[in-house]
Amino acid sequence: MTFKQGFYEFKQLMSLMKPHRKWYFTGLVGNSLTNASITILLSFVVHYLLNFAVNGDVQELYRAVYLVSGTFLALSLISPLCSYMYKRCVKLAIADVRMKLFGHIVKLSYEKAEKHHSGDLVSRMTNDVQALEQAYTVHIRSIILEISLFLGSLVILMVLDWRFGIMAVLLGLASAWINAHFAKKMRKTSEELQGRMSRFTERLSDLLSGLQTVKLFGLRTKVGGLCNDASEDINRISIRQGRHMGLQDMCNFVIEFITLGGVLVAGLILVSQKQMELGVLGQIVQLQTGISTVFLELGAAVTLLQNSLAGLARIREILDESKEEEQFPAAKKKGPLTRLIDPETAALSARESGGFYGDVETLRTDHAIEQTPAALELHDITFGYQPDHPTLQRLNLVVAEGQVTALVGPSGGGKSTVMKLLLGFYPPDEGVLRVRGRLAEEFPLDEVRDLMAYVPQEATLFHGTVADNIRFGSPAATDEEVEAAAKTAYASGFIGELPEGYDTIVGERGANLSGGQRQRIAIARALLKNAPILLLDEATSALDAESEYEVQQGLNELMKDRTTLVIAHRLSTIERADTICVLADGELKEQGTHDQLLAEGGHYAELYELQFRKHPEEQTA
Ligand SMILES: Nc1ncnc2c1ncn2[C@@H]1O[C@H](COP(=O)(O)OP(=O)(O)OP(=O)(O)O)[C@@H](O)[C@H]1O
């Protein structure tokens, strides 16, 4: 680590301590100086006591007693006070870091957040933050304490006998060289260790979230093995770290032993030749012992600080990632707006066809934007998760106001991707997205999301009560409003049968409820949000007949008087949709009403036949 890099990292460490820096340093320096001065003062006590022992001078004894009292006072009053002061600042700063990190993770763009395993983020919030706390409370304190002790002892040594002072400096240089060598190695292993801890948390979180599957498929050995591998990696690196520290300690001990031996021999020769008082030698030995432990401690502190700095780097990595923009994301590349929409043709086309523009080629004007009646429009949208692998290709789609538009098509065709783009999770690569006739990027992102209620396939419930989970739709809703939403969503029946009703804890991710019950809570939540546009990733395919019926009833209530874009996996649920759009390979293959599409005998008719050949009982005739 170069001095420049060290300075930069120290500045970063301190930037996270910013609002508490003044009191942190007052407490830290106060505590370190008090503790350093205790060791130095005690060397004087040794000096006076030895002089008293040799000369019988009572004044020397009194001096020693005064110093011991002063030391005791410092130890029992100033040191704890300063210690409380800086530790309080550390706790406050660490709480700030945790909140800052959490706030940043929540605001990360979906694209960025998706790149991290949740276990990795948890590890950064726990292990790395803990490592950072160690830097503030233990390692920096240790460095300040040991440096003050060294400087204080050196000045006194120089005054007592400059030759011993020089010896201390040489010892310092040798120790610094050895410890810098070990610190470099330690930094490398620390970075590795933090990375492996992260991987272990990832494996553990996979194991715990998929416990059911692990048990059912007998994956305990396989998935558990992955956890064990990660844990063994941690052990291996920790043992390597321990070996480095052991070697470092050994080198420091050898230096300490040689120096102390040298001081004792040289000092005793000087005392025997009456060139030095025994008291002075006692004090020099005491100071030299202190200096030797300085290097031992300083070496360990600098080495362990590498662990914290590796944690800091991982925390900064997250804090430096870009947050979600305030505005709805615009397309990365505008591209030539070749197929621009004239409002009247669009309105007519949307009304007549139930949403699909076809191949209208006109120019866009401001007037056009004002007049466009559709709730949502995707115009020439191209998008890919990976560059050069488009998931959607020049897609044109209109969700007409007040109508139900259904997206159907084979798995992987890009249906959910359309919803993700509409919710502003990703910017399209090319094309134009409009919301109620205006370019989506003209809206603040939150405003667009406020217009929409999204009910995903897998309802996300949070640990808390049933009421809490419904109230996420509108945090200010009263109990009566929550209950009314539950009733409309066909959820009040089962909620009434739960042991604590609306106050029942749903468990982690709603584990205490059935799939259908979780869905109906999500529907009640969307009802409470009362957004004009509904995005529905239909989930009834995973439910049994009874749950499906109830969830469908809830959904029907939710869709009343709302613009709806629904992804349908079971064609029976969207037969009455105003427009059905068939999406395959990221392209709109065909669109129309159920009857029109059946009559056309294209993709939809094929899908329909395929589905009802498998499930003839679903055919509505
Ligand atoms: N986060 C992602 N990163 C990379 N590729 C993705 C991601 N999400 C989806 N894909 C890919 O994009 C394509 C379209 O996926 P999408 O989820 O939109 O399909 P879908 O039509 O909704 O499928 P299904 O009916 O099975 O839900 C698929 O090939 C999928 O593998």
315 plus 347 within the same structural domain: no
Residue 399's DSSP bridge partners are 376
Residue 390 CB–ligand 1 contact under 6 Å: no
Token look-up 């020049």 returns 394
Residue 95 has pLDDT above 50, yes or no: yes
113 plus 251 within the same structural domain: yes
Q: The CATH number of the domain where 543 resides is what?
A: 3.40.50.300
For the stretch 346-393, pLDDT in tens is 444 444 444 443 333 333 334 344 454 688 888 888 999 888 888 998
Residue 453's DSSP bridge partners are 534
- A 10 A CB-CB count for 272 gives 9
C-alpha–C-alpha distance, residues 349 and 347, integer Å: 5
Among 285, 319, 353, the domain-final residue is: 319
**Domain range enclosing 164:** 17-319
Residue 63 has pLDDT above 60, yes or no: yes
pLDDT given for residue 201 in this prediction: 80
% residues pLDDT > 90 (the chain): 12
Mutate to test the pocket of ligand 1, among 115, 385, 585 (most ligand atoms within 8 A of CB): 385
Residue 27 CB–ligand 1 contact under 6 Å: no
* Protein residue with its CA nearest to atom 10 in ligand 1: 385
CA 388 – ligand 1 centroid, Å? 15
Mutate to test the pocket of ligand 1, among 386, 391, 408, 429 (most ligand atoms within 8 A of CB): 391
User: What SS3 class is residue 149?
Assistant: helix
Choice between 448 and 558, residue whose per-residue pLDDT is larger: 448
pLDDT given for residue 364 in this prediction: 38
- CB neighbour list of residue 596: distance below 8 Å, 6 or more residues apart: none
pLDDT given for residue 223 in this prediction: 67
* Protein residue with its CA nearest to atom 7 in ligand 1: 385
In a domain, 4, yes or no: no
CA atoms within 13 A on the CB side of 559: 22
Residue 27 has pLDDT above 90, yes or no: yes
Q: Which atom of ligand 1 is nearest to the CA of 414?
A: 18
In a domain, 5, yes or no: no
C-alpha–C-alpha distance, residues 204 and 228, integer Å: 10
Residue 340 has pLDDT above 60, yes or no: no
Residue 423 has pLDDT above 80, yes or no: yes
In a domain, 546, yes or no: yes
pLDDT given for residue 613 in this prediction: 65
pLDDT given for residue 22 in this prediction: 92
Residue 129 has pLDDT above 90, yes or no: yes
Choice between 387 and 142, residue whose per-residue pLDDT is larger: 142
CA 445 – ligand 1 centroid, Å? 23
Residue 80 CB–ligand 1 contact under 6 Å: no
Q: How is residue 576 written in tokens?
A: 């009455």
- A 10 A CB-CB count for 335 gives 16
* Protein residue with its CA nearest to atom 3 in ligand 1: 385
Query: What would the mean pLDDT of 64-84 be, rounded to a whole number?
Result: 85
Q: How is residue 387 written in tokens?
A: 């560059």
Residue 67 has pLDDT above 50, yes or no: yes
Phi, psi of 584 (to 5 degrees): -145, 140
C-alpha–C-alpha distance, residues 140 and 311, integer Å: 15
Residue 26 CB–ligand 1 contact under 6 Å: no
CA 415 – ligand 1 centroid, Å? 8
579-584, strands of its sheet edge to edge? 452-455, 533-537, 563-567, 404-408, 579-584, 587-592
In a domain, 336, yes or no: no
pLDDT given for residue 214 in this prediction: 66
CA 309 – ligand 1 centroid, Å? 38
Choice between 180 and 546, residue whose per-residue pLDDT is larger: 180
Write down the H helix ranges in 489-588: 492-497, 515-529, 545-559
- CB neighbour list of residue 215: distance below 8 Å, 6 or more residues apart: none
Query: What would the mean pLDDT of 110-117 be, rounded to a whole number?
Result: 81
Query: What would the mean pLDDT of 300-304 be, rounded to a whole number?
Result: 81
For the stretch 222-239, pLDDT in tens is 667 777 787 888 888 888
Q: The CATH number of the domain where 53 resides is what?
A: 1.20.1560.10
Residue 579's DSSP bridge partners are 405
592 plus 446 within the same structural domain: yes
pLDDT given for residue 338 in this prediction: 38
Task: Catalogue the E-assigned strands of 241-345.
Answer: none
Question: If pLDDT is split at 50, 70 and 90, which confidence band does 339 have?
Answer: very low
Q: Do the strands 376-383 and 438-439 form a parallel or antiparallel pair, or are they unpaired?
A: unpaired
420 plus 512 within the same structural domain: yes
- Average pLDDT across the chain, whole number: 81
In a domain, 246, yes or no: yes
pLDDT given for residue 141 in this prediction: 92
Q: Which helix H or strand E contains 169, and what residues bound it?
A: helix 162-209
Tell me the residue type at 234: I
Token look-up 């969830």 returns 551
For the stretch 494-529, pLDDT in tens is 888 888 888 988 877 777 788 788 888 888 888 888
Q: How is residue 102 written in tokens?
A: 């959490």
C-alpha–C-alpha distance, residues 63 and 30, integer Å: 24
390 plus 484 within the same structural domain: yes
Task: Tell me how many domains the chain contains.
Answer: 2
Task: Look at residues 550, 469, 543, 554 and name the one whose alpha carbon lies nearest to residue 506.
Answer: 469
256 plus 360 within the same structural domain: no
In a domain, 10, yes or no: no
CA atoms within 13 A on the CB side of 284: 30
360 plus 428 within the same structural domain: yes
HEC assignment per residue over 481-517: HHHHHHHHCCCHHHHHHCCCHHHCECCHHHCCCCHHH
Among 286, 319, 352, the domain-final residue is: 319
User: Is there a contact between 392 and 420 (Cβ–Cβ < 8 Å)?
Assistant: no
Task: Look at residues 566, 490, 475, 562 and name the one whose alpha carbon lies nearest to residue 524.
Answer: 490
Among 287, 319, 351, the domain-final residue is: 319
Residue 391 CB–ligand 1 contact under 6 Å: yes
In a domain, 446, yes or no: yes
Query: What would the mean pLDDT of 613-619 be, rounded to a whole number?
Result: 57
94 plus 222 within the same structural domain: yes
Q: What is the pTM of this model?
A: 0.69
445 plus 574 within the same structural domain: yes
290 plus 389 within the same structural domain: no
Q: Which long-range contacts (CB under 8 A, 24 or more apart) does 344-352 make?
A: 344/371, 346/372, 346/373, 346/374, 346/398, 347/371, 347/372, 347/373, 347/374, 349/398, 350/374, 350/398, 350/400, 351/400
pLDDT given for residue 369 in this prediction: 43
In a domain, 261, yes or no: yes
| Residue-by-residue DSSP string for 92-134 | HHHHHHHHHHHHHHHHB-HHHHTTS-HHHHHHIIIIIHHHHHH
List the helix and strand counts (H, then E) for the chain.
23, 10
- CB neighbour list of residue 412: distance below 8 Å, 6 or more residues apart: none
CA 567 – ligand 1 centroid, Å? 13
Choice between 559 and 359, residue whose per-residue pLDDT is larger: 559
Q: How is residue 279 written in tokens?
A: 């008291």
Residue 417 CB–ligand 1 contact under 6 Å: yes
CA 413 – ligand 1 centroid, Å? 7
pLDDT given for residue 363 in this prediction: 33
User: What SS3 class is residue 280?
Assistant: helix
372 plus 307 within the same structural domain: no
pLDDT given for residue 565 in this prediction: 92
381 plus 312 within the same structural domain: no
